[in-house]
């Protein structure tokens, strides 16, 4: 039942992992265990990435409840088109025109989170804690995954979608943490340039999904609150 959801989240995560290498690479390689022995380094890499997956899963749970509310009200189709359109608009504005419209409260939250991560790194609080916090940092690919979770068919589906997304980013991030010192910075920066294209594709898929075209997996028919209900006499 949830196979399609897991595959979709995992596929998005595989594409998103290229972005993660470019964006989160410096933070991942800043972990103190990176300068320690191979065993501690491996454990730190696993704990850090596990923390990210836990946060992504909890985000899926949270936004799954929100998306379920829209589904129960019969707005899931409209909401899918709206979410895709908003994502497409912000992708064009942010990556095309370099305009950032983050509200003040979100900027403050981001600054506080970055300060917490910096403090955690200095005090060596643990890779898992850093990974948990890292999962909340602003990220275009995470936004795309959250949009997918919002239009999932159930809370469990949304949670599995985000968990699969996080798991798919683990191999690339793990390899980066283990061998990142030999990866040229210029190469990692080039990977970041793929982000707007992936986000645009996800936005287009969300719009198509909400159009109820009856295409299996791509644009399935959604149930609405206005569907006929069988009456008993």
**Residue 225 domain-assigned?**
no
**Residue 233 domain-assigned?**
no
**Residue 219 domain-assigned?**
no
**Residue 20 domain-assigned?**
yes
3 state SS of 220? coil
One pLDDT digit (tens) per residue for the chain, 233 residues: 577 788 888 888 887 777 777 667 677 777 765 555 566 778 888 899 999 999 999 999 999 988 887 666 556 677 778 878 888 888 787 777 666 666 788 888 889 998 998 888 877 778 899 899 989 988 878 888 888 888 887 899 999 999 999 999 998 888 877 776 666 667 666 766 777 787 788 888 878 877 777 666 566 655 544 444 334 44
Is there a contact between 21 and 172 (Cβ–Cβ < 8 Å)?
A: yes
Q: Is 96 exposed, middle or buried (0-12, 13-18, 19+ CB in 10 A)?
A: exposed
**Residue 222 domain-assigned?**
no
**Residue 232 domain-assigned?**
no
Its domain, for residue 105, covers 3-209
Cα 170 from Cα 56, distance rounded (Å): 12
**Residue 34 domain-assigned?**
yes
CA within 13 Å, CB half, 188: 20
Q: Is 157 exposed, middle or buried (0-12, 13-18, 19+ CB in 10 A)?
A: buried
This prediction has a pTM of: 0.78
- As for how many domains the chain has, the answer is 1
């Amino acid at each position: 039942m949830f196979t399609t959801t897991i595959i979709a989240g995992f596929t998005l995560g595989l594409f998103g992992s290229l972005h993660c290498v470019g964006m989160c690479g410096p933070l991942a390689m800043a972990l103190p265990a990176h300068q320690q022995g191979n065993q501690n380094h491996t454990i730190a890499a696993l704990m850090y990435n596990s923390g990210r997956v836990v946060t992504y899963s909890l985000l899926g749970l949270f936004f799954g409840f929100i998306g379920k509310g829209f589904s129960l009200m019969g707005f899931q189709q409209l909401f899918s088109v709206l979410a895709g359109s908003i994502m497409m608009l912000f992708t064009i504005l942010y990556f095309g025109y370099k305009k950032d419209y983050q509200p003040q409260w979100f900027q403050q939250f981001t600054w506080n989170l970055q300060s917490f991560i910096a403090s955690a790194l200095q005090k060596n609080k643990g890779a898992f804690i850093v990974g948990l916090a890292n999962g909340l940092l602003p990220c275009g690919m995470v936004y795309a995954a959250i949009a997918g979770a919002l239009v999932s068919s159930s809370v469990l589906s949304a949670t599995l979608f985000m968990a699969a997304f996080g798991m798919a980013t683990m191999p690339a991030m793990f390899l980066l943490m283990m061998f990142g010192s030999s990866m040229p910075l210029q190469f990692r920066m080039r990977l970041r340039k793929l982000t707007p294209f992936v986000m645009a594709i996800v936005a287009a898929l969300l719009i198509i999904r909400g159009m109820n075209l009856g295409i299996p997996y791509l644009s399935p028919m959604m149930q609405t609150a206005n569907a006929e209900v069988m009456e008993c006499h």
